[in-house]
Structure 1
């Protein structure tokens, strides 16, 4: 056994050394043309419904002779329903389907991928004339061999090889003529046809079946196809755990992909697993423009299109991160409330509560301490200065929360038809420490973006006498949160739907103001009596691993996440009128002690990972009581504290984020946010806040976003390697190094 693989045969085909594709000398370019160091690889991804188009995307398999890397060229083309694409070798692609005007299922076209030079991914070369007996759409398996000839299984299971012809010497006369046919009864063909994946590389055809790759020697000439030497083929490798599909970029190199898109790489002599994390989330069918041999990329930096050159306009990283002292002066929280129709909620009473003093058990009901009240102005705006002297229990909560004071601002109204409407906004304040007269760095960081929220009043419709049960595990598996959790990260600030269901798909057109068939959006709203109050009861708790950091390290670099000593996070708070449909209502910040929490050590190159820690969340029932009698209710989901589940780790890897690095993303980045590291140089981002990761946590079927405040204990690091004297470029999501970068990306 080698790397978990049983090797019974080795592939032919030497892996020789030569410069990379696109190298700058004529000699290198000629060598690269015959033995490339970068292989175009294509993925066809369905768009969710058989009636919709699929998408063809181009990737680049960089340096497949080594551990290598697969990066997206960020080039794509739409495919109409029923269209199929396969490689013709190099930059050539074949497509079956509608070519030009009118639909003809028998039509086959030849295309060139010109995206590397700024052209189309599918640039039409010519269309092959439809011939009697050729129904390309009906051919069950289709690919091209090393000579660019089209190979397929027809409806009867026969194997056919087609060659391109131009009878009158013009592209208008292009046609595919059958060179030879192997009957379906051929013993070797019977075995090959059982394969779940079939592809050609060099003089062999490969098939994947039951986590085993077999090969058959293959040749085709006029009226002759041979497969052998034995009917059963030669076993190349077994024990390919989870392999659902497979392909090769060249002889001697294999990739396998699981159903969830995890890709492993096998190569060498003897054949061995050389990269068990080559790619993740690669959904759809994959095929490569396979070459007959490979060259080494050596120290060449990956690129797409033009060879990268140093940009003298990009500054190097500054000597050190800049910090500023925490501000002083009165602490004010503010926001804005709107009526259901979007007009200002003027003249509404606003009560501000300290929201962290929840009971330790699930039975107690508490009336959270008020910090003051105010009234909205004509534009619905409100503001409140936090008292200089806080109640003792509130001051204790602030001290235990890293100096941050979480507050909930609530206004309550009543519609003409008697529906209770509540506006609730969750905010964080940074009060001065009574002993030192200063604010903590964490508290001031999380409050930098506070204030100015516009919150619409929403119905409070839950039954005040009963508790809505939590969704079942099966129900949670069908939610938006579950779907987002399975996808690789792309835009960190991806906007969640306005409403999420915690037990099914999210309603796209939910109208929270449609009550018993009547839309109350335009009804007049008046303030509720101030003799009533909201109380809080924790009805359930759940520990969810929550994203708190992200590290990026591209070519010749390593990165890590440091997250230790204390929590330093701001996380969405969920609101639900009935306990099943949820929206976001502000955020809460937690800075409590979490001794022992850490990130991960240096990893790279081509590694970008999120890091998660376990945080406990409270599901809270808020009940409106008048004279002690429960009248109306709604629910919240609120972060609480760091808590390790029994027998579970103190931290865990989150999503893969490699697709956010590399030359294409760098080229599309804001030039003002770019910088570079010299060989062996390092940088740490430790000021400001991270990006707000969408889907940072899944809590009871609801997706919540979160961010981390950077400081000496919570930071992202990157370290350049020393392969060459070239600069290692980095850039920030929202600023250059030395400012509030959000996250460091790597190229």
Structure 2
């Protein structure tokens, strides 16, 4: 199965997919093999490993030629290995044949410009591939009533001795045969109705007679079989972009218990250890009482000698209930390298201690420093971090607080201009504006891209700028200007100007082949989520993160699902848009904006959780072969494994709030974990591997093969 991602003005990508065991509910997955098609080149299947490609002749802009190719990726070759090119013949206009496919005999079938149906066979007049040509075997005139009906179809394909057409949610079939100077379609002009009510189907195809797939415009694939036609898998594949060219077989055989593979049959990897015994003890939690970071000037050099104030950032006021000067936890000065650190006080103010206790023992703080450029522009550096203070009375730290601070490292944060008008509030983007943003585009993708890298700057109300320079102000670039620390007699206050609930990724489960997986997420929240920063209120970047550990009793993930299921799980989190204003003697001087996650909150009438993106493409033999060998392990039949320690991966695009995309991760424990369970089809091992470590360590995510 091959799908090109088409673009009207550039090259496209041809990707090979494998339809494993189409007799059963099965699964469609990428073989991780692709080829680039030049602009206006098109391909269609010739059956089996054969492909036909229509391409431009060198130096002839308006002429197209037809070539035969083989998919040799199973033996280490190319996806498009040229067999031969057919001679260009008078009357053959391959460019104009927009509806073209091959029948069960491998012959080329097409509608020409006049609407006639043509069947071509290949010939080798002198017995060499150099003389290969396509000769018309027969033609059915456009006036044939069965052809008139077939031509109305939006999707046409062949399987066995039939031609199928999809039109307005209905699949019809016509008996088909072709011989010298004779094509028949029948038995009736209207064809035979195979299925109706497929209202979301944009295209369709068959891997063999009796099995049908439909695809929506957004790439969701459903599978049907039987008589009458019955839906057997409504989640066969997602994110399948472009047109699908299936190499239909004459019949199907069951894969049985055989594990999916590409090329050679897999053998057990004797160097991979089995999963270790589950740990019965856990070390006492430890974590920093010290927060630290590093501030940089606009040109990237150290911001030395800058005053840094550290505040408890979770004590925000209710929306539209005035402003608050967040409690100071202390101040310090950056060293020659721009670095700073602060030891959290042993005794926190009562209101801060209450918030910490409500947040699972984690203390979220914001470190702020302020300066002024030579041209008088106020610059602010903000970093959001989490500390794990000891609880009063017990002298211990909570596991959540210790985990979220583990391995966080030192942030390096540049000072940025504070340009927002301190006297007015920038309005939230409208729903229509938010639909045009990078965040909305990323959120609409059906599959999760683990390599997705977030933009440095995002617009919350339109297309994000590709090259935004925040230091270009009124035509002057202040990047290299000297920065002077501002007096610490002024302060920044906080005002919540808007609140919004966004479903945020908190888990991910993987189950390939003979396995099932689940996400457990209950009793308490346990997340670390990006914080947004905006100098003006409409362009946003990430400024550290904050940890949300508040109580959310009753929240749950999803139960065991599989095989061939990999899903993200999301829960509703409330986000605050905060306007921070610098006041000197009570007079507002400068402002900037933040977007901060705060707590679990279910919108009225909405679910407590929802499925996120599909992640099946991250499992399977190709991904396993490309994984770090040190992170691999295996499960015997019916065995389970769960991650209960460390951090998950950081999911890019985990949530969209106020038109901005944010990343997030989860801290694993007994209430927040990803599990996998091997089935018992055969005695084969079920291989798993971690994103960042093997089982028994901080895996991040369990992947499945």
| Shared fold, TM over 0.5 | yes
> Structure 1 residues 361, 490: closer, same or farther in 2, change over 3 A?
closer
CA offset at residue 740 of structure 1? 0.4
Conservation of the 8 A alpha-carbon contact between 1:428 and 1:450 = no
Task: State the partner residue of 2:313.
Answer: 355
Q: Report how far residue 103 of structure 1 moved.
A: 5.4
Deviation at 1:223, TM superposition (A): 0.9
RMSD: 1.2
Q: Are the counterparts in 1 of residues 287 and 405 from structure 2 also a CA contact under 8 Å? A: no
Tell me how far apart the structure 2 counterparts of residues 624 and 151 of structure 1 sit (CA, whole Å). Answer: 72
Unaligned runs of 5+ in 1: 1-40
The question of whether the paired residues in 2 share the 8 Å contact of 1:333 and 1:383 is answered with: yes
Q: Is the aligned partner of 1:581 residue 2:539?
A: yes
Taking the TM superposition and a 5 Å limit, the aligned residue runs for 1:271-310 are: 271-310=229-268
Matched, 1:255 2:209: no
Residue of structure 1 equivalent to 2:338? 380
The structure 2 residue matched to 1:364, chosen from 299, 322, 347, is 322
Shift of 1:117: 1.4
Give runs of aligned pairs for residues 669-684 of structure 1, distance below 5 A. 669-684=627-642
Q: Secondary structure at the match of 2:291?
A: strand
Q: Which residue of 1 aligns with 2:112?
A: 154
The one-character-per-residue Cα deviations of 1:215-263 (angstroms, maximum 9, x if unpaired) are 1111111111111111111111101130110000000000001111111
Instruction: Tell me the equivalent position of 1:592.
Output: 550
How many Å separate the matches in 1 of 2:422 and 2:405? 33
Query: Counterpart of 1:43?
Result: 3
Q: Residues 14-68 of structure 1: CA distance to partner in whole angstroms, max 9, x if unpaired?
A: xxxxxxxxxxxxxxxxxxxxxxxxxxx111112xx42211110000000001111
- The alignment of Structure 1 onto Structure 2 pairs a total of residues equal to 705
Alignment of 1:126-275 (within 5 A): 126-275=84-233
Shift of 1:135: 1.1
Matched, 1:414 2:372: yes
- Mapped to 1, the partners of 2:58 and 2:679 lie a distance apart of 50
Alignment of 1:497 with 2:455, yes or no, is: yes
1:740 to 689, 693, 698: 698
Partner of 2:361: 403
Write the distance in 2 (CA, Å) between the matches of 1:387 and 1:208: 70
With over 3 angstroms needed to count, the CA separation of the structure-2 counterparts of 1:673 and 1:100, relative to structure 1, is: farther
* 1:592-741 equivalence runs, <5 A: 592-741=550-699
- Alpha-carbon shift at residue 492 of structure 1 (Å): 3.0
Preserved CA contact (<8 Å) 1:492 1:692? no
Q: What secondary structure sits across from 2:44 in the alignment? A: strand
Change (3 A) 1:44 1:323: farther
Q: Secondary structure at the match of 2:147?
A: helix
Structure 2 distance, partners of 1:323, 1:607, is: 32
SS in 2 for 1:286: coil
Paired position in structure 1 for 2:432: 474
Specify which of 475, 500, 505 is matched with residue 547 of structure 1: 505
**Match for residue 477 of structure 2 among 516, 519, 525:** 519
> Quick check: 1:89–1:144 contact (8 Å CA) kept in 2?
yes
Post-superposition offset of 1:333:
0.7
Distance (Å, rounded) in 1 between the aligned partners of 2:244 and 2:31: 15
Pair 494,597 (structure 1): closer, same or farther in 2 beyond 3 Å: same
Residues 649, 700 of structure 2: 8 Å contact kept: yes
Give the whole-Å Cα distance in 1 for the aligned partners of 2:626 and 2:582. 51
Structure 2: gaps of 5 or more residues: none
CA contact (8 A) 1:493 1:691 kept: no
Distance 2:57 2:380 in 1: 58
Q: CA deviation at 1:98?
A: 3.2
8 Å Cα contact 1:96-1:105 kept in structure 2: no
Distance across 1 between alignment mates of 2:95 and 2:319: 64
Contact 1:321 1:737 in 2 (8 A): no
Question: 1:37 maps to what in 2?
Answer: none
**Distance (whole Å) between structure 1 residues aligned to residue 451 and residue 406 of structure 2:** 18
User: Are the structure 2 counterparts of residues 667 and 122 from structure 1 closer, same or farther at C-alpha, using a change threshold of 3 Å?
Assistant: same
Matched-pair contact (CA < 8 Å) for 1:97–1:103: no
3-state SS of 1:192 partner: helix
Contact 2:437 2:460 (C-alpha < 8 Å) held by counterparts: yes
Confirm or deny that 1:93 pairs with 2:51: yes
Moved more, 328-337 or 721-730: 328-337
Deviations 1:406-459 (A, max 9, x none): 000000000111111000000000001111111111111111133411100001
Deviation of 1:116 after TM superposition, in Å, equals 1.4
Matching residue of 1:25: none
Instruction: Indicate whether 1:117 and 2:75 are aligned.
Output: yes
Which SS does the other structure have where 1:706 is aligned? strand
